[in-house]
Chains A and B, each alone.
Chain A
Amino acid sequence: MNSKLFLGLMIVGTFMFVAAPVMIAQAPYESTMGLIQKIFYFHVPAWFAMFLAVFVCGVSSALYLFRKNPVADRLAESAAEIAVLFGVIGLTTGPLWARKAWGVWWTWDPRLTMALILEMIFLAYLLLRWYGGPGSDKLAAGLGLFAMANVPFVYISVNVWRTIHPTTNVVPSLATSAPGMFVPFVWCMVAFLILFIVMLAARTRLEEKRAEVEQLYLSLEDV
């Protein structure tokens, strides 16, 4: 990625993140959950970024596997790391919210379960990459592709799995996004999107430089 674009995105992103808490603080309170609901302004965009990362990893894994494009491999590894990162954010802010709003840290709700499964798959991807030794790039690419293909199945199975159990849940009749909440929410979504792009670009660049160093080492040996 062109460094001017990168710098520009970083500046915009930083600005947005600085402005975000102010906007969030000024947003109206949600009537049933009160203060804790404000987590959602970062929680939801974090998950959105995670899914984006999963998608990027899956597609670039496929590209690497079928076209053997080294850029795709770097992109896939970076995206997987970032997916795990945003997943961690989602899985920690979620329970913090849930503790206050629902009284429990965790519940086997379809969405939470699916998120957990996805996170585990990508943790497995990283373990393979780090500890698999040589040749694990292609193997990880296979895993990445399988992970992406698996998403709809996880979705179906977890959704039906939970609905056949009796639940003691109550669907909160939350107010539909009032304009006061809408603007900060979209702001945060865009901010996270920019953050995602910045992170991906930076991490991929790290891999690029590492590859360059390795190349140089190899040519050094030839000398």
Chain B
Amino acid sequence: MVVFLILVLSEEGGNLIGDQQPPLLGEPQEEFVPIDQLPPEDQLPAAPLLVAAYGIIWLVVFGYLWSIWKRLSSVENELKTISNRLHND
């Protein structure tokens, strides 16, 4: 079952990669220009973008999990106070 899942996912991944259709500014290119052959002015530094991407992901994920955790503890406190009140009444 796990092997099957992995095969399916890898196919999916392969398809997803193969389907990317990036538009290029200006004329359509007929073939690929590998990144190190591009003129220097076309080469954006990739590192800041990559760092930004992963940074955003971590921030969003942990932010959300932390917010759930905070709300959960406050709700559980509220639960405790009310059930105490209920049992004392």
Residue B86 lies at the interface, judged by CB distance under 8 Å to chain A: yes
Whether A173 lies near B32 (C-beta < 8 A) is yes
What's the dominant secondary structure at chain B's contact region? helix
Question: Across the two chains, which residue of chain B brings its CB closest to A85?
Answer: B64
Question: Across the two chains, which residue of chain A brings its CB closest to B6?
Answer: A186
In the assembled complex, the CB of A172 is this many whole angstroms from the nearest CB of chain B, namely 6
Whether A32 lies near B76 (C-beta < 8 A) is no
Whether A42 lies near B53 (C-beta < 8 A) is yes
Whether A44 lies near B25 (C-beta < 8 A) is no
The A-contacting residues of B in range 60-74, CB under 8 angstroms, are 60-61, 64-65, 68-69, 71-72
Which residues of the other chain, A, contact B36 by a CB distance below 8 angstroms? 34
Residue A122 lies at the interface, judged by CB distance under 8 Å to chain B: no
In the assembled complex, the CB of A218 is this many whole angstroms from the nearest CB of chain B, namely 10
Question: Contact flags (1/0) for A186-204 with B, using CB distance below 8 Å?
Answer: 1001000001001100110
Whether B75 lies near A209 (C-beta < 8 A) is yes
Whether B23 lies near A169 (C-beta < 8 A) is yes
Which residues of the other chain, B, contact A195 by a CB distance below 8 angstroms? 61
Q: How large is the interface on A (under 10, 10 to 19, 20 to 34, 35 or more residues)?
A: 35 or more
Whether A96 lies near B52 (C-beta < 8 A) is yes
Task: Report the interface size for chain B: residues with CB under 8 A from the other chain.
Answer: 53
Whether B23 lies near A209 (C-beta < 8 A) is no
Whether B72 lies near A174 (C-beta < 8 A) is no
Which residues of the other chain, A, contact B76 by a CB distance below 8 angstroms? 209
Question: Contact flags (1/0) for B6-34 with A, using CB distance below 8 Å?
Answer: 10011011101111111111111110101
Which residues of the other chain, B, contact A89 by a CB distance below 8 angstroms? 56-57, 60-61
**Given pairs A42-B54, A176-B18, 12 additional interface contacts (CB within 8 A):** A35-B46, A39-B49, A85-B61, A89-B60, A89-B61, A96-B49, A177-B17, A185-B10, A186-B9, A206-B75, A209-B75, A213-B75
* B residues with CB within 8 A of A: 6, 9-10, 12-14, 16-30, 32, 34-36, 42, 44, 46-47, 49-50, 52-54, 56-57, 60-61, 64-65, 68-69, 71-72, 75-76, 78-79, 82-83, 85-86, 89
* A residues with CB within 8 A of B: 21, 31-36, 38-40, 42-44, 46, 48, 85, 88-89, 92-93, 96-104, 107, 109, 111, 167-174, 176-177, 182, 185-186, 189, 195, 198-199, 202-203, 205-206, 209-210, 212-213, 216-217, 219-220, 223
